[in-house]
Structure 1
Amino acid sequence: MPELPGVEHHFIDVRGLRMHVAVAGSGEPLVLLHGWPQHWWEWRRVIGPLAEHYRVICPDLRGLGWTGAPPEGYRPEVMADDIAGLLDRMGVHRFRLVGHDWGGLVGYQLALRSPDRVSHYIAVNTASPFLRPTPRVLLNGVRVWHIPLNAAPLIGRRMSGSVVPRWALRHWTYRSAALTSEDARIFLAQFRDPARVRATVSYYRNIVRRELPLLLVGKYRWSRLTVPVLVLSGDRDPLLSAGQMTGFDRWATDLRVESMVDVGHFPPIEDPDSFVAGVLGFCGDPADRDCVTPDTVLG
């Protein structure tokens, strides 16, 4: 477990899943959900500045980091239940939420299903759940070649356990100097565990077999986002075009879009100052007390 000043680590049982969560600061809760191939360490450059304003809660998603890696449950809905259950155990009801990549898909689920709990949601370099199969979207599918490769029979475990995560960390980062060799080592170490490699294969097989087909036939066409949403993205992201992250105004009550200049797929790593400014600018002053929660209880 890498160490970061001011951060506490807790392991909490949530419906039989042993979840790891890193916590820092005090005040109103701000939940940060990481992407792949990462874990809570993705937020290391922004935890300190954000903890000056909020109680920052950084869980590891199912199958990644130091959270358990069971054989099943790698669907956004299930992982949203994991996070909701974790926050219940911590005594947190209402919170601000940031989700990146896979954590962004989980964040959309929480915002759609629990608008009474999520006061603000920031989706970072994350595909929209309202994605439609337009020609542009289909053509952009070549950008996410890693999805079928990670999901592939026979070679999927080898690819997702070594080749693809190494490629992702190196080539999805536009500001390459921002991701140190030590950061890469910490992220890649988790894939020495066969259970976590199996979890990654499950993540992406679920995308190919279930989530993407349902998305493209309009799974969320009757849904509506009533939570204020900010889509925050790096303009140099090699995976997702702006059209795949935005364009769902008619399904959202309050939608804003901001782009970070010369930033790739990992904004909190590549430009932490601008990222923190974006979070604070959108979520507002915690002194407004719109997210009052009971005292945190850690199990």
Structure 2
Amino acid sequence: MDTLPVLDGVTHRFAELPGLRMHVAEAGNGPPVLLLHGFPQHWWEWRKVIPGLAQDHRVICPDLRGAGWSAAPAGGYTREQMLADVVALLDALDVDRVDLVSHDVGSILGFALCLEHADRVSSHLAFGAGHPFVRFHPRMLTVLWRLWFQEVIATPGLGPWALRSGRLPRHLLHSPTAPDAWSDDDVELFVAPMREPARARAGSALYRNVILGEVGRISRGAYRDAHLSTPTVVLYGADDEAGLPLEFLGGYEDHADDLRQELVAGAGHFVADERPDAVVDHARALFASRG
């Protein structure tokens, strides 16, 4: 994992943050847009999105703590610390305010950034994870069995072993909707970091503390009194195997000034890989609407 993949127009740097050396891929010039990747991916998730957004934006794609080419320290895989990493990165880059595009665990951090640092975010396009105001509906129980891998990954010992094996990360990246969304080289770029014990442990801790931790926070009503002022669009892949109809994904109406939810046809969980055109189009429309 020493060699970075090449994408035209993309440059790379390492930001020295408190307790973390973070890798950042950048492209383009103009208003800054921050892209936060999901699991088990890294900045390369945005390879099909960067060219479209970089035409008139400065695109900033960090590797989150423990992912890609960023360092994988022994600790810090909590919502609070990983959010602090993102804020520290913006400060290190002298970026006061961004438009935000996020996926999966990146969306958990993205919503946290909007809620706790609203002055830093102009708009937010999220996918691969719902908003934090969702309420329990019995229909949700029908898809829980499809998320069996979450407990596996989160279990100390078992999770790191399963990630190092490569089979589980490959399973997570499988897309029956768009089987050609990734080349073999793309898949290897996402799977390879997990073979490193430190990164496999990081992935397990992230799942345990941030992803499943967010489920716990929502179920305990942690966002009951929260208010979202950031203009937000949440996308769901219409063919996501763990997806639910939009009518079961409400709960935000009294908590958000401007939040819309839409389905993306021809996509499952990995919308940026499966329908990058939809991500670029939705992002551009959102950025323009708040301008």
Same topology, TM > 0.5: yes
- How far residue 139 of structure 1 moved from its aligned partner, in angstroms, is 3.6
Q: In structure 1, what residue type is equivalent to 2:253?
A: D
**Corresponding position: 1:147 with 2:139:** no
**Corresponding position: 1:271 with 2:275:** yes
Q: Find the partner of 1:54 among 57, 66, 72.
A: 57
Partner residue, 2:89: 86
Q: Which moved more, 1:64-73 or 1:147-156?
A: 147-156
Partner residue, 1:120: 123
Q: Which moved more, 1:118-127 or 1:236-245?
A: 236-245
Structure 1 length normalisation: TM-score? 0.90
- SS of the aligned residue for 1:45 comes to coil
- 1:161-180 counterparts in 2 under 5 A? 161=164, 162-171=166-175, 174-180=177-183
- Identity of aligned pairs, percent? 42
Partner residue, 2:216: 213
**Corresponding position: 1:8 with 2:4:** no
Partner residue, 1:33: 36
**Corresponding position: 1:260 with 2:264:** yes
- How far residue 111 of structure 1 moved from its aligned partner, in angstroms, is 0.5
User: C-alpha distance in 2, partners of 1:248/1:166?
Assistant: 34
Q: Find the partner of 2:254 among 225, 247, 250.
A: 250
- SS of the aligned residue for 2:152 comes to helix
Tell me which stretches of 4 or more aligned residues in structure 1 moved more than 3 Å: 207-211, 242-247
Show structure 2 runs of 5+ residues with no match: none
Structure 2 length normalisation: TM-score? 0.93
- SS of the aligned residue for 1:213 comes to helix
User: C-alpha distance in 2, partners of 1:90/1:117?
Assistant: 13
How many correspondences in the alignment? 286
Question: 1:246–1:158: structure 2 CA closer, same or farther, 3 Å change rule?
Answer: farther
Query: Could you give the per-residue CA deviations for residues 137-165 of structure 1, whole angstroms, max 9, x where no partner exists?
Result: 34432232111010124322121222221
Show structure 1 runs of 5+ residues with no match: 289-299
- How far residue 207 of structure 1 moved from its aligned partner, in angstroms, is 4.7
Contact 1:143 1:240 in 2 (8 A): no
- SS of the aligned residue for 1:178 comes to coil
**Corresponding position: 1:105 with 2:84:** no
**Corresponding position: 1:22 with 2:28:** no
Provide the alpha-carbon RMSD of the alignment: 1.8
